[in-house]
Structure 1
Amino acid sequence: MPRNKQKSEQESLLEQVQCIAEGLGEMFAPFTEVVVHDLRSPEHAILAIHNNLSGRRVGEPATELGLARIQDQDFPQLLANYPNRFADGRSAKSTSIGIRDSSGRYIAALCMNVDVTLFRGMQGMLEQFCSTSAAPVKESLDPTNADAIRARIDRFAMNLATTSRSLKTEHRRALLQELRDEGFLEVRRSMEIVAQHLGVSRATVYNDAK
């Protein structure tokens, strides 16, 4: 195929993939991050990102999986529901779809990352709702375990049908008040844990907590 024609075909494919990504992003907002990677430019592979949960930006490089596809054209085209983890430690479930041109070369990838911690929080809420035990609920906070704080934040965000990183200023302030009332802010390094999970600076958290 002539070079110009091949390039035109690839650009057309990328446009369609971006349209699909936008639709998926709107449908599964705010719980699923949808990313389009242009594997022709691995140093600046991220072409589009919807419902940004990972903190990455357009123009950032390809992931290890993307590089593997570039180097091996026999790499599986579909990897579905594999365990993953965001940079701040949150658990994720991911699916990656390789996009080939007519020559069989990988030119792009469409990836979806679900923040599993949100649904674990929902699962806990459902278990509590369905419980028939008359015994009082007892709670203890493990000072060395940040998961308790993260789970509480996720439950707060879930009640607002959003994610922890999408909370507005007024919601963060309400969250901090609830965390203080429930004793979570007494946990060592609590403000640092909260800031990291919300994706804001510690200074912002301290200001919201005033």
Structure 2
Amino acid sequence: MKKPTLSPTTTSGFFDRYISILDFFAEVCGPDCELVLHDLSCPEASIIAIRNGHISGRTEGGTMSEYAPSFVRLVRSGGYTRNMVSHVDRIGDGRIIKSHAFFIKDEEGELRGMICANHDVTNLVKLHDFLHDRFQFIRGMRPAPEEEGVAVESLLEPDASSGSDYDIEDLMDVIIEQGIAEFTVSPAEMGPKERMRFVGMLNDRHLFSLKGSVARTAERLGISEATVYRYLKRENLRQL
């Protein structure tokens, strides 16, 4: 028997408990992170609450982003069982946004809503590009790394006392996900040649100037770190 569609009136109380969560994370994450609570029973006016709405220009009563409906269809089809998905995109004004969607389900496991966190990481990407340009001269004066043909990862080591690990990880995710978006197959479907080309693309975009980037790339591709290093060595030899 098909379950009745819940109206916004019958669902409003269900979401009350999540308002304080939005307030908390908006305070913790700061003004560069938009927090949105969606009621999926009313997709044309799904936004129940929004914090830092200046990022997207949306307000309460607004609709979901262009990506959200595809998330909902994926979960409802049973094709995605995790509670959270993420993606990275460049929006119309050129800013780069990293988004996470957390799925809210009722006691019976039915999808009822989403909390979306949209983090503007544009400044991180600009900072990476700026620092990479400045470090080129320093890199030229450094001795060769121990691993032959491997890009130096230690130039942009995060300062543990500054709490910057999260930002560096965000930056790596942005560069990796943007690269993946340029391929017609997912990382799981890539063959050796495609993976090598992908690693070469990331190398051209200076990803491997960031500490921990080899491990993060290996995890995303589902291969070993040694394989990433091997691809990097071949890429560096090709550029000689």
Normalization by structure 2: what TM-score? 0.45
User: Paired residue for 1:45?
Assistant: 46
Aligned to 1:15: 16
Matched to 2:101, the amino acid is: S
Relative to structure 1, the CA distance from residue 84 to residue 129 in structure 2 (aligned partners, 3 Å threshold; closer, same or farther) is same
Aligned-CA RMSD value: 3.1
> Residue 94 of structure 1: which of 90, 94, 99 is its match?
99
Distance in 1 of aligned mates of 2:42 and 2:115? 15
2:124 paired with 1:123: no
> Alpha-carbon deviation of 1:22?
1.2
CA contact (8 A) 1:78 1:95 kept: no
Report how many residues are paired: 129
Q: CA deviation at 1:109?
A: 0.2
Query: Helix, strand or coil for the counterpart of 1:34?
Result: strand
Q: Distance in 1 between matches of 2:100 and 2:13?
A: 23
Structure 1: how far apart are the matches of 2:85 and 2:69?
18
The one-letter code of the counterpart of 1:102 is E
SS in 2 for 1:40: coil
Partners of 1:78 and 1:120 lie apart in 2 by 28
2:122 aligned counterpart, secondary structure:
helix
Q: Secondary structure at the match of 1:99?
A: strand
Q: Which runs of 5+ in 1 are unaligned?
A: 134-210
Amino acid at match of 2:117: M
Please report the TM-score for the alignment, with normalisation by the length of structure 1: 0.51
- Give the direction of change, closer, same or farther, for the CA distance of 1:66–1:105 in structure 2 (3 Å limit): farther
Offset, 1:68: 3.7
Q: Is the 8 A contact 1:38 1:107 kept in 2?
A: yes
User: What residue in structure 2 maps to residue 113 of structure 1?
Assistant: 118
The equivalent position to 1:83 in structure 2, one of 77, 84, 88, is 88
* Cα distance in 2 for residues equivalent to 1:34 and 1:61: 14
User: What is the DSSP-based 3-state SS (H/G/I as helix, E as strand, rest coil) of the residue aligned with 2:20?
Assistant: helix
Between the aligned partners of 1:42 and 1:14, the Cα distance in structure 2 is 15
Asked whether the equivalents of residues 68 and 75 of structure 1 are also in contact (C-alpha less than 8 Å), the reply is no
Match status 1:58 vs 2:60: yes
The letter of the residue matching 1:90 is R
Q: Shift of the alpha carbon at 1:39?
A: 0.7
Where does the alignment leave 5 or more consecutive residues of structure 2 unmatched?
Answer: 139-240
Query: Where does residue 213 of structure 2 map in the other structure?
Result: none
Deviation at 1:18, TM superposition (A): 1.7
Identity of aligned residues (%): 27
Instruction: Give, as a single letter, the amino acid of the residue that structure 1 aligns with 2:41.
Output: R
Question: 45-54 or 85-94, which moves further after superposition?
Answer: 85-94
- Label 1:69 to 1:92 Cα distance change in 2 as closer, same or farther (>3 A): closer
- Offset at 1:41? 0.9
Question: What is the rounded CA distance, in whole Å, between the counterparts of 1:92 and 1:24 in structure 2?
Answer: 17
